[in-house]
């Protein structure tokens, strides 16, 4: 109140950039029936009070170009080019062609990906029901403004902080607070952005929007504390490039000092030798190739109606060996149909059908079961409306309605409503469950208002339940389900069915879909501890009567046992588990909350597209591992050879143009094509270890042969330019043999690629040898080269076998250490 006793208008304080004063705006007391007017909306847009957050997932065109052009290694290449130009060594600038092509390809692919994903994001952008100018509208959530009146339903994710004006909701705030309890929200209560609606329907006024909302501030604070962790492959590559970036500058300085000051070579030759060693150590196309492959994969998935929210999931997909699915919407069609209404003994259907119709018409159609019931009784006319309702919750497995005058009814899973009192109905329930039908119990419920058993006010379901009828529902198995699950079985991916349904119902559906081990099922509601759930996670295939928290525990247990777990889901009951899975896949036709937290969204909601998604992940990782080994052969060879040159105070034998020729024909061009071809093999082991295991034998072979040739050249007093040429041919041949290994199995396409690269190399050294500083070999130098070329394959094979044997020895040693390690019981004794 002010001094005159008048009520001051409520104001909204908007945070301003640093060193600028905070701005205050007057709030609107929005009418929940009419909403904001056009003038008020325009004012809010002018004030910048729109529900738009800083989206760093989509880069601008300018950022894409800058991120590809202005890189650390491009700076080094630019400096080397200037120095070589200054020295007049024009033919050694060949590496700039590779750098230019790499940069252009990277920019083109990323721009293409941006356009494709931006189109998909428009199609899949979350929408919200808003009341404006007295009418309901569906608009994108990022077009909402402060003080808008919005309507939230079950399955919606709260898009901005809001205050409930009318109606009631049950929300889950675990995604923003970590607390997984379902919380009832009544008029006047605050809804936090990022939480999701479990049940109910309510109107709410937006209280904080955009970057001022709780979820946005939480996200910004998290970014300040810790950047999002990169997946294994990208993390390994980033670490590798950072290490190379640190050591390359002192190496370059030492190399020039060694060649020019110690050995006494001319400034031009010293610069050329230094440039050659530096260029050889830079994996100029490796990181780019990886990024391009991931981007290309994102585009291919987009063309198959799959939206990638997080690119790291593509690598995770390649390593998935366990896939968790729901019954409804994955194994079966999402739409359900009422199969039968069964009045319980001594009752007739007519006696209770009126109450069932009243119940159904009092509830919101916020799940597939209720939609099916409303469709079945679409021609019926209700007589009464409920005065209190409790929407369906995956945690309790029932919904309820109170019509006053001691007329309350409950509908849901018989086991959850009657608990231990289901014995009388067990045979009937089992009969229908064995046919794959979902069985619901409709019962009357007596409770004390505001008492402990008042389920409409947060109480616990009591025992005063009287069964009245059973309702059975069915939904058809998806046509491609058998084929899809057969693919995963052939690929070594285990399937787990996690459902809120009766375990027998879920198991029958799984058997019809051809899922292996579907006869191993369990009612998870009977498991009382985390340890029991962890034990069951690996023992059983089908899990029934699972609550959202139990779904999450099952996923965590599977991950803890060493599996890479992917999960598909479409409902709010899947959100917690989707968040915890290594890779989460949502159906676009499902809840908004599930789609928002998932790594991938199947826009056509067709699970039969999953084999393409998994195959895409395997294609990318397998091919990048294979191509990366080509790059590391050059890097390891150049690093070791430079180190030997520094320690022995000897001439670095290769020239920049020679390194560039091998990089282009034996590494860059073939790796680009190999990285984009189909490859569905299961991915095993760690990325960097796999790549080093492949690259080291070839790199060490090249080092051994080149050092050997230099020793012979010094002994027989071979000219420097001839020794350099011999070294070049030995390195090129070792790299070509590595290309042969990478091309295996040698199909027609691989054979053509291998032959073309070899032919191009022969043409280059035959017709323009001067450009690559290749001297014509005399008798003595040819005599050194010939036997060493013949030794290349035997040496590489010997090193390959040595590495295999070392791996075996390592595994035996680890196994022996584990056997000798005393058990916990031994320690206690």
Question: What residues are annotated to the active site?
Answer: 326
Distance (Å) of CA 33 to CA 36, 43, 131, 151, 165: 10, 20, 7, 11, 11
The secondary structure of 292-353 as a DSSP string is: HHHHHHHHHHHHTTEEES-THHHHHHHH--EEEE-TBTTTB-S--EEEEEEE-TT--HHHHH
**SS3 call for 428:** helix
Which has the closest alpha carbon to 105: 382, 293, 363, 321? Answer: 293
**How far apart, in whole angstroms, are the C-alpha atoms of residue 372 and residue 394?**
17
**The Cα angle at residue 639 between residues 633 and 642, in degrees rounded to 5:** 130
Which has the closest alpha carbon to 678: 741, 745, 620, 609? Answer: 620
Q: Residue 567 forms beta bridges with which residues?
A: 324, 584
**How far apart, in whole angstroms, are the C-alpha atoms of residue 339 and residue 347?**
19
**SS3 call for 195:** coil
**How far apart, in whole angstroms, are the C-alpha atoms of residue 196 and residue 199?**
9
Q: Are strands 322-325 and 494-498 parallel, antiparallel or unpaired?
A: parallel
The secondary structure of 569-638 as a DSSP string is: E-SGGGHHHHHHSSEEEEETTS-HHHHHH-SEEETT--GGGHHHHHHHHHHHHHHHHHHHHHHHHHHHHH
**The Cα angle at residue 449 between residues 444 and 450, in degrees rounded to 5:** 135
Angle between helices 687-715 and 720-743 (to 10 degrees): 150
C-beta neighbour count of 674 within 10 angstroms: 22
**The Cα angle at residue 711 between residues 705 and 712, in degrees rounded to 5:** 90
By the 8 A CB rule, do 355 and 423 touch?
Answer: no
**How far apart, in whole angstroms, are the C-alpha atoms of residue 13 and residue 47?**
12
C-beta neighbour count of 23 within 10 angstroms: 14
**SS3 call for 717:** coil
**SS3 call for 514:** coil
- φ, ψ at 651 (rounded to 5°): -70, 135
Distance (Å) of CA 737 to CA 116, 655, 733, 757: 39, 21, 6, 12
Angle between helices 312-319 and 232-256 (to 10 degrees): 110
By the 8 A CB rule, do 478 and 333 touch?
Answer: yes
| Long-range pairs of 373-376 with CB within 8 A, sequence gap ≥ 24 | 373/338, 373/471, 375/337, 375/338, 376/337, 376/338
Per-residue burial over 399-427, b if 16 or more Cβ lie within 10 Å, else e, is bbbbbeeebbbbbbbbbbbbeeebeebee
Give the list of residues 6+ apart from residue 225 with CB closer than 8 angstroms, or none. none
What sign for the dihedral angle of Cα 517, 521, 524, 527?
negative
**How far apart, in whole angstroms, are the C-alpha atoms of residue 83 and residue 106?**
26
**How far apart, in whole angstroms, are the C-alpha atoms of residue 234 and residue 212?**
33
**How far apart, in whole angstroms, are the C-alpha atoms of residue 231 and residue 319?**
12
Task: Tell me which DSSP letter residue 231 carries.
Answer: P
**How far apart, in whole angstroms, are the C-alpha atoms of residue 286 and residue 721?**
31
């Amino acid at each position: 109140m002010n001094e005159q006793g008048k009520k001051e208008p409520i104001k909204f304080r908007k945070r301003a950039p640093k060193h600028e004063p905070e701005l205050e705006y007057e709030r609107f007391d929005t009418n929940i029936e009419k909403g904001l007017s056009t003038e008020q909306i325009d004012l809010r847009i002018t004030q910048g009070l729109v529900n738009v957050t800083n989206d760093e997932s989509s880069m601008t065109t300018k950022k894409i170009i800058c991120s590809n052009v202005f890189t650390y290694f491009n700076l080094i290449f630019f400096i080397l080019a200037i120095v070589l130009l200054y020295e007049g060594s024009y033919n050694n600038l060949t590496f700039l062609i590779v750098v230019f092509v790499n940069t252009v390809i990277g920019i083109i692919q990323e721009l293409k990906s941006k356009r494709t994903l931006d189109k998909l994001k428009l199609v899949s952008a979350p929408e919200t029901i808003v009341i404006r100018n007295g009418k309901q509208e569906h608009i994108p959530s990022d077009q909402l403004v402060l003080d808008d009146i919005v309507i939230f339903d079950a399955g919606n994710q709260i898009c901005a902080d809001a205050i409930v004006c009318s109606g009631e909701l049950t929300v889950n705030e675990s995604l923003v607070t970590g607390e997984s309890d379902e919380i009832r929200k009544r008029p006047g209560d605050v809804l936090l952005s990022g939480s999701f609606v479990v049940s109910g329907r309510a109107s709410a006024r937006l209280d904080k929007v955009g970057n001022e909302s709780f979820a946005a501030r939480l996200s910004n604070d998290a970014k300040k504390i810790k950047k999002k962790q990169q997946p294994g492959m990208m993390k390994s590559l980033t670490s590798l490039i950072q290490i190379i970036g640190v050591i390359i500058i002192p190496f370059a300085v030492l190399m020039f000092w060694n060649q020019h000051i110690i050995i006494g070579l001319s400034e031009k030759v010293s610069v050329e030798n230094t440039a050659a060693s530096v260029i050889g150590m830079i994996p100029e196309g490796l990181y780019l190739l990886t990024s391009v492959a991931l981007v290309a994969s994102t585009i291919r998935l987009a063309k198959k109606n799959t939206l990638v929210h997080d690119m790291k999931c593509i690598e995770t997909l390649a390593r998935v060996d366990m896939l968790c699915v729901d019954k409804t919407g994955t194994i079966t069609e999402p739409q359900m149909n009422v199969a039968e209404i069964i009045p319980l003994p001594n009752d007739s259907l007519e006696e209770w059908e009126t109450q069932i119709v009243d119940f159904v018409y009092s509830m919101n159609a916020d799940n597939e079961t209720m939609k099916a019931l409303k469709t079945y009784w679409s021609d019926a006319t209700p007589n009464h409306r409920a005065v209190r309702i409790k929407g369906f919750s995956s945690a309790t497995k029932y919904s309820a309605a109170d019509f006053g005058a001691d007329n309350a009814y409950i509908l849901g899973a018989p086991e959850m409503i009657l608990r231990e009192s289901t014995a009388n109905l067990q045979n009937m329930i089992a009969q229908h469950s064995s046919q794959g039908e979902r069985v619901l119990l409709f019962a009357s419920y007596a409770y004390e208002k505001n008492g402990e058993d008042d389920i409409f006010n947060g109480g616990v379901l009591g025992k005063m339940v009287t069964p009245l009828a059973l309702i059975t529902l069915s939904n058809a198995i998806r046509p491609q389900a058998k084929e899809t699950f057969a693919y995963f079985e052939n690929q070594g991916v285990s399937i787990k069915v996690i459902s809120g349904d009766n375990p027998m119902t879920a198991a029958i559906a799984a058997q019809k879909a051809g899922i292996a081990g579907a006869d191993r099922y369990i009612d998870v509601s009977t498991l009382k501890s985390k340890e029991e759930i962890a034990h069951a996670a690996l023992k059983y295939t089908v899990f029934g009567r699972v609550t959202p928290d139990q779904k999450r525990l099952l996923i965590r247990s599977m991950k803890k046992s060493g599996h890479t777990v992917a999960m598909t889901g479409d409902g709010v009951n899947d959100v917690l588990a989707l968040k915890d899975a290594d890779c989460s896949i949502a159906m676009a036709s499902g809840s908004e909350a599930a789609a928002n937290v998932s790594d991938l969204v199947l826009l056509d909601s067709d699970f039969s597209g999953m084999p393409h998604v998994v195959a895409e992940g395997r294609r990318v990782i397998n091919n990048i591992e294979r191509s990366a080994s080509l790059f590391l052969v050059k890097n390891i060879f150049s690093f070791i050879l430079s180190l030997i040159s520094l320690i022995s105070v000897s001439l670095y034998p290769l020239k920049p143009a020679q390194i560039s020729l091998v990089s282009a024909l034996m590494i860059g061009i073939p790796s680009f094509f190999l990285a984009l071809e189909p490859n569905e093999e299961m991915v095993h082991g760690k990325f960097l270890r796999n790549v080093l295991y492949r690259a080291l034998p070839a790199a060490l072979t090249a080092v051994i042969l080149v050092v050997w040739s230099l020793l012979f050249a010094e002994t027989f007093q071979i000219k420097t330019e001839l020794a350099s040429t011999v070294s070049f041919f030995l390195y090129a041949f070792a790299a070509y043999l590595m290309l042969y290994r990478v091309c295996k199995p040698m199909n027609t396409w691989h054979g053509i690629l291998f032959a073309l690269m070899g032919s191009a190399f022969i043409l280059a050294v035959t017709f323009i040898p001067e450009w690559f500083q290749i001297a014509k070999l005399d008798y003595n130098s040819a005599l050194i080269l010939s036997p060493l070329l013949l030794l290349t394959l035997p040496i590489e094979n010997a090193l390959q076998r040595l590495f295999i044997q070392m791996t075996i020895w390592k595994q035996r040693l680890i196994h022996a250490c584990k056997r000798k390690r005393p058990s916990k019981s031994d320690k206690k004794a």
